Structure 1
Amino acid sequence: MKINKLNNEELEIWLSLARTVGPVKFFSILRACGSLYEVLKYLNKLTNKDYGIQNAREEIKNAEKIGAKITPACDPDYPDILRNISGFPPVITTLGDVSLLSREIIAIIGGRNSSMNGRNFANKLALDLSQAGFIIISGLARGIDTAANSVIYKNYPTIAVTASGIDVVYPRENFDLYKKITENGGLVMTELPFATKPKPQYFPQRNRIISGLSLGVVVIEASKRSGSLITADFALNQGREVFAVSGFPLDSRCSGSNYLIKNGAKLIESADDIIESIRFSLPPQQKNLFNVEHYAVNQKQEKLQQAKYVIVDHINSVPVDIDELILASGLSANIALMALLELELENKIERSPGNKISLIF
């Protein structure tokens, strides 16, 4: 993909296509058409398009009214690290200091139902990493995410990725934090259209961006059903470091983070553990370990691809309940949810009300 600035008309076409199809199909169409003006002809032929040039124009105008910027994946301001992940967003919308996306970023995530100790440790970790020159990224959610993003109150910039439109703050209780981030050197970003309200399927999409922008992901107090484990899986598939903080074995809030440690995540007790792992090259005697980890990433990607085949074999054009599908497929919940997200991004499945999905023919 050629990196260049788009004029207003080209941006409207790019955005219109991005809002009409999923990321994988977006780039397939772009390659097939050869130019944005051929894409416009393609869009004009669509019989069921629900997002057109006028909508794109309005979205750009609404973003500009609040000081936000819509950045296509071909723009020089679009972060290279995100452009290199599978299914990267064709567009992102940002409010704040976009230059933060070119800095060294560490994600700190965890459960919404976190303990005071967990939140305090997340905030201290975020502060120590910020003082070391890293930028902290999280999801603006309750609990650990809020504690991590709150480093902005100590005058360190932070990034929040939302599962909603750039103008929609969720949860509402974090409105002051959202304002503090955007007005004091931080950045809020999303791939979703302006004014979009959060939905369950948007959170895994957001999580792949959080891990995709990061050099490493730190998980604190996450249960086995936490979305943080999905983020950790994305991080592994994207070749990122995965760190976790251990917790009391009988505390269900720590079952997921303990599980990650048992399965290869790096146990951390301070920011120094992360800094050493991220900033210093592996010594020669650990080269074989690196090869083993690289092999594990490939194995994980193959497992995800197999899961996608299994899911497609279990569905057709009639909507089915996602929980029943996962049960029937025999797949683990985490790998099934990741596979469903990738299939949705590839525009191969669509969601229906009532937590249902169906195959697109």
Structure 2
Amino acid sequence: MKINELNNEELKIWLSLARTIGPLKFSSVLKACGSLDEVLKYLDGLANNKKVYGIEDAQKEINDAKRIGAKIIPACSPDYPNILRNILGYPPVITALGNVSLLNREIIAIIGGRNSSVNGKNFASKLALNLSEAGFVVVSGLARGIDTAANGVIYKNHPTIAVTASGIDVVYPRENFDLYKKITEDGGLIITELPFATKPKPQYFPQRNRIISGLSLGVTVVEASKSSGSLITANFALDQGREVFAVSGFPLDSRCSGSNYLIKNGAKLIESADDIIESIRFSLPPRQKSLFDVEHSQKNIKQEELQQAKSVIVSHINSVSIDIDELILASGLSTGLALMALLELELESKIERSPGNKISLIF
């Protein structure tokens, strides 16, 4: 993928492909087509067999974004954050409203439960302020509770990024409308990968969570239960090679059961922003599992070797979801070969991915 700006016609083709096939297949199809002209032919071929998000749909979305001052950023744009571009299943496009330059700053995520305590929200606010004063940008999900407290650092004159599980023009929850406006008007940024006017649905929240962790050098969990989506974000962070931090809580408080669980399983316990800053500043750069790593390694993988790897993977899975890291370990395959085989199986619709970096066999 060459990093360059697209003109309007090219952006419409890119956007049409992204909306038609989704993030998991996007990079492979784009690479196979070789050019946007070939992508257009590919989309024309699909039109007979499935619903295609057409060029007119793409132009309408571009116009709608411009109308409210938002910008549609394809993954090949210089404005697209490098750290996000290098995750598996990166969003082919993001729509941004506000200060786009924040995307290439050092970013730390603060997330947690919606049903949070006053102490939890106060601590999240303090973390966000201290991290911002140290030069980081705080990202969260604009949800009620801990997310609201973290994104609320904008009220203390520090920029923040909010990633939403809805279209750029849809504020959820509605109680955060004022916070949404403050972020977009006072130097912060709202981003989403979803089309204009999209209403939030349950399946969109795990998708959003991978972006929160994908943007970040580290993810901090404050007051999350074991059923919280924050644990999904933490799993994404681990898969993406990010640091995971957690704040411990009272053992009998169910709101802290997930945070405590993360600490017991290797997350770094933190008591202040200094703990996060020290770990981020003085640790080695995180190793990211990148789709580009997989594509590069493909050059050294023979077709017979790849077919054999696919057979090995299929023999280790069934209709019950399994963690990808566990599968790779059980298969005995190298990480690069296993990821390439998984990608091909997914493109062949033989496996499907579920939240928490898990896959299962399609019968």
TM-score by length of 2: 0.81
- Please state whether the residue corresponding to 2:275 is helix, strand or coil: helix
- Where do 1:212-251 residues align within 5 Å? 212-251=214-253
1:184 to 166, 183, 186: 186
- Post-superposition shift, 1:264? 0.6
The whole-number CA distance in structure 2 between the counterparts of 1:122 and 1:310 is: 45
* Shift in CA distance, 360/95, structure 1 to aligned 2, threshold 3 Å: farther
1:98 to 91, 97, 100: 100
2:293 maps to none
- Post-superposition shift, 1:86? 0.7
The whole-number CA distance in structure 1 between the counterparts of 2:15 and 2:142 is: 25
The whole-number CA distance in structure 2 between the counterparts of 1:50 and 1:32 is: 19
Please identify runs of 4+ aligned residues in structure 1 that moved more than 6 A: 358-361
- Please state whether the residue corresponding to 2:91 is helix, strand or coil: coil
Structure 2: segments with no counterpart, 5+ residues: 288-309, 328-341, 354-359
1:88 maps to 90
1:36 maps to 36
1:132 maps to 134
- Please state whether the residue corresponding to 2:21 is helix, strand or coil: coil
2:271 maps to 269
* Shift in CA distance, 196/138, structure 1 to aligned 2, threshold 3 Å: same
The whole-number CA distance in structure 2 between the counterparts of 1:309 and 1:84 is: 26
* Identical positions, percent: 78
Q: How big is each residue's C-alpha offset from its partner over 1:72-92, in whole Å with a ceiling of 9 and x where there is no partner?
A: 101111110000111101000
The answer as to whether partners of 2:140 and 2:151 remain within 8 angstroms in 1 is yes
The answer as to whether partners of 2:16 and 2:52 remain within 8 angstroms in 1 is no
1:354 maps to none
Letter in 1 for 2:96: T
* Shift in CA distance, 209/277, structure 1 to aligned 2, threshold 3 Å: same
- Post-superposition shift, 1:115? 0.4
1:159 to 158, 161, 166: 161
The answer as to whether partners of 1:72 and 1:78 remain within 8 angstroms in 2 is yes
- Post-superposition shift, 1:25? 1.4
The whole-number CA distance in structure 2 between the counterparts of 1:8 and 1:225 is: 43
Q: How big is each residue's C-alpha offset from its partner over 1:211-264, in whole Å with a ceiling of 9 and x where there is no partner?
A: 000000000010111110010011011110000000000001100000000011
- Post-superposition shift, 1:30? 1.1
Letter in 2 for 1:44: D
- Where do 1:8-19 residues align within 5 Å? 8-19=8-19
- Please state whether the residue corresponding to 1:178 is helix, strand or coil: helix
Q: How big is each residue's C-alpha offset from its partner over 1:295-318, in whole Å with a ceiling of 9 and x where there is no partner?
A: xxxxxxxxxx99x9699732xxxx
* Shift in CA distance, 99/57, structure 1 to aligned 2, threshold 3 Å: same
The whole-number CA distance in structure 2 between the counterparts of 1:235 and 1:267 is: 16
The answer as to whether partners of 2:43 and 2:52 remain within 8 angstroms in 1 is no
The whole-number CA distance in structure 2 between the counterparts of 1:218 and 1:235 is: 10
The whole-number CA distance in structure 1 between the counterparts of 2:317 and 2:78 is: 37
1:313 maps to 318
The whole-number CA distance in structure 2 between the counterparts of 1:359 and 1:251 is: 37
The whole-number CA distance in structure 2 between the counterparts of 1:234 and 1:259 is: 16
The whole-number CA distance in structure 1 between the counterparts of 2:225 and 2:199 is: 25
The whole-number CA distance in structure 2 between the counterparts of 1:252 and 1:121 is: 18
Letter in 1 for 2:68: I
- Post-superposition shift, 1:42? 1.0
* Shift in CA distance, 242/174, structure 1 to aligned 2, threshold 3 Å: same
The whole-number CA distance in structure 2 between the counterparts of 1:311 and 1:22 is: 26
Letter in 2 for 1:127: L
1:323 maps to none
Aligned residue pairs total: 316
Q: How big is each residue's C-alpha offset from its partner over 1:271-307, in whole Å with a ceiling of 9 and x where there is no partner?
A: 110111011246xxxxxxx9xx97xxxxxxxxxx99x
Instruction: Give the CA RMSD over aligned residues.
Output: 2.9
Letter in 2 for 1:213: L
